[in-house]
């Protein structure tokens, strides 16, 4: 029974990993198209971006939650090197990037805000986020014993 639950958790963990990386790739083409469009189209694109951020955010929470359960139920102790490295990268991405996304979007409608600067920041933040997620994906799949 415990094995079945563990299997379901690993599966949910991987599905949430897919959902917390995949949607980000929609960002790049949208950001490119957002430059210099009129307000109605801009609003449509921005609502897609908002949905993407919400999916990624919820999936990220499920990812961490199932990950913690896997640690509690599974054979890997929390101090295993690849787990600690994942947690360190996770902390980095949570602090710098998740906040970066919401801040940029909130500021987007400020009259004084330079939209091109905002879009460049959004683009850069998305790439950093994807990069960090791919590093964590590598740590999880390879499980390297770093020390």
Is residue 130 near ligand HEM by the rule CB under 6 A? no
Is residue 94 near ligand HEM by the rule CB under 6 A? no
SS3 49: helix
Is residue 141 near ligand HEM by the rule CB under 6 A? yes
Question: Which position among 11, 76, 96, 127 is part of the footprint of ligand HEM (CB under 6 A)?
Answer: 76
Is residue 24 near ligand HEM by the rule CB under 6 A? no
Stretch that binds ligand HEM, among 50-58, 86-94, 99-107, 115-123 (CB under 6 A): 86-94
Spatial CB neighbours of 47, under 8 Å, sequence gap ≥ 6: none
Is residue 70 near ligand HEM by the rule CB under 6 A? yes
- What is the separation of C-alpha 120 from the centre of its chain, rounded to a whole number of angstroms? 18
- Helix 24-34 and helix 115-142: axis angle, to 10°? 160
Is residue 122 near ligand HEM by the rule CB under 6 A? no
In this chain, which residue has its C-beta nearest to ligand HEM? 67
Spatial contact of 44 and 1, defined as CB atoms under 8 Å apart: no
């Amino acid at each position: 029974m415990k094995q079945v639950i563990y299997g379901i958790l690993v599966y949910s963990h991987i599905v949430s990993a897919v959902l917390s990386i995949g949607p980000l790739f929609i960002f790049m083409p949208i950001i490119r198209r957002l430059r210099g469009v009129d307000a109605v189209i801009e609003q449509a694109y921005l609502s897609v971006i908002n949905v993407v951020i919400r999916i990624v955010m919820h999936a990220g929470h499920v990812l961490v939650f199932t990950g913690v359960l896997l640690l509690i139920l599974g054979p890997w102790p929390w101090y295993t090197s690849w787990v600690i490295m994942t947690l360190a990268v996770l902390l980095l991405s949570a602090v710098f990037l998740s906040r970066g996304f919401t801040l940029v979007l909130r500021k987007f409608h400020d009259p004084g805000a330079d939209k091109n600067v905002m879009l460049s920041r959004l683009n850069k933040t998305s790439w950093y986020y994807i990069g960090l997620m791919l590093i964590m994906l590598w740590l999880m799949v390879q499980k390297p014993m770093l020390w």
